[in-house]
Amino acid sequence: MKTYPSIPDVADAPERLFAEGHLWVTEKVDGAQFRFQLQESGRVRFGDRTRVYDHPDAVPEPYQHAVRHVQTHLDRETLRAAVDDVEEVVFFAVAMHFQTIDYEWERTPSVLGVDIWSGSADAFRPPDAVVAIFDRLGLQAVPVVDRELRARDFDPGSYRVPQSAWCDGPAEGVVIRNKRGGRAQLTHPDRSATADRPHSIDASAPELATTYATHSRLETLATTLDADGSPVTVERLYERLLETIGREAPTLLTDDGPVDSGTFRSEIAARTRSFLDDREPSSQATR
């Protein structure tokens, strides 16, 4: 699967990027690099920045929310109708779980599209096509801030990074692209200063389980499963709960996190079972 090239800062960008043509500017979001590709079999193959996984279950847990989002929303038939060989197309996106910016997770999409590689053309699709294609396939691209700006009129030194579409504060930065594949990034100075600041979690596994596995959150997830026609089982509700936690605090699900992940999972599972034990009688009473 195609690997996404690194994006230089504007200070290191090729001069020709700002010499001619027009530019598209998109929000630079603070997530984890994510890529996927539809296989002829109909299965979607996933990858992160450096690794590719042959089965969705092998994708690390913090990315599982993004895996399910793509599997649920990707319009496979529209994609098959649009290209001769679906395996020649690689989609690059951002899995939106916590890195350094605490987004408003309930309204921030799990996946935001960034770029599309066409193997048949041996090139990335132009930025206007990227936005349109993600939309046609049922997915959302990163927000477009400015489009068709004259390259010669763009001054990186005076450009003001806008507010983020997904949190109360400035965007992490912007990505500037032209239609020939040139790209550069400009980071907001406030975000650059806090990029390496660690996210402190100072609580025990039971305390964290109480914080993240609240009754209201479990009820919201259970109601969503009901609305989708899915059975509300302990296993299914537990999986959805882990996905939401993985977005907000992915280190809680890793072996090198701030608490023992096994203990934390056990506490989460116990709270999930307790919630369903209390919920079933009231749910049955309303039927």
pLDDT tens for each residue of 98-127: 999 999 999 999 999 999 999 999 999 999
Q: How confident is the model at residue 97 (pLDDT cuts 50, 70, 90)?
A: very high
Give the amino acid at 250: P
The pLDDT, as a whole number, for residue 71 is 96
> How many angstroms separate the CA atoms of 176 and 182, rounded?
8
| Percentage above 70 pLDDT, the chain | 94
pLDDT tens sequence across 120-133: 999 999 999 999 99
The pLDDT, as a whole number, for residue 201 is 77
> How many angstroms separate the CA atoms of 208 and 269, rounded?
13
Domain ranges of the chain: 10-194, 205-285
The pLDDT, as a whole number, for residue 287 is 37
Which CATH architecture fits 10-194? 2-Layer Sandwich (3.30)
pLDDT tens sequence across 178-211: 988 899 999 998 876 555 544 567 789 999 999 9
- Please give the distance of CA 239 from its chain centroid, rounded to a whole number: 18
pLDDT tens sequence across 212-265: 999 999 999 999 999 989 999 999 999 999 999 999 999 898 888 889 999 999
pLDDT tens sequence across 44-80: 999 999 999 989 999 998 999 999 999 999 999 999 9
Residue 152 has pLDDT above 60, yes or no: yes
Closest of 74, 76, 30, 70 to residue 47, by C-alpha:
70
The pLDDT, as a whole number, for residue 82 is 95
- pTM for the full predicted model: 0.90
Give the amino acid at 70: V
The pLDDT, as a whole number, for residue 281 is 55
**179 or 89, higher pLDDT:** 89
Secondary structure (DSSP) of the chain: -PPPPP--BGGGS-GGGGTSSEEEEEEE--SEEEEEEE-TTSPEEEE-SS-EESSGGGS-GGGHHHHHHHHHH--HHHHHHH-S-GGGEEEEEEE---SSS---TTTS-SEEEEEEEETTTTEEPPHHHHHHHHHHTT--BPPEEEEEEEGGG--TTTPPP-B-SSSSSB-SEEEEE-TTS-EEEEE-HHHHHHTT------S-HHHHHHHHS-HHHHHHHHHHHHHTT----HHHHHHHHHHHHHHH-GGGGSTTSSS-HHHHHHHHHHHHHHHHHHHHHHHHHT-
The pLDDT, as a whole number, for residue 200 is 62
Q: How confident is the model at residue 286 (pLDDT cuts 50, 70, 90)?
A: very low
Secondary structure (DSSP) of 93-141: EEE---SSS---TTTS-SEEEEEEEETTTTEEPPHHHHHHHHHHTT--B
The pLDDT, as a whole number, for residue 256 is 84
The pLDDT, as a whole number, for residue 202 is 77
Q: What is the mean pLDDT of the chain?
A: 92
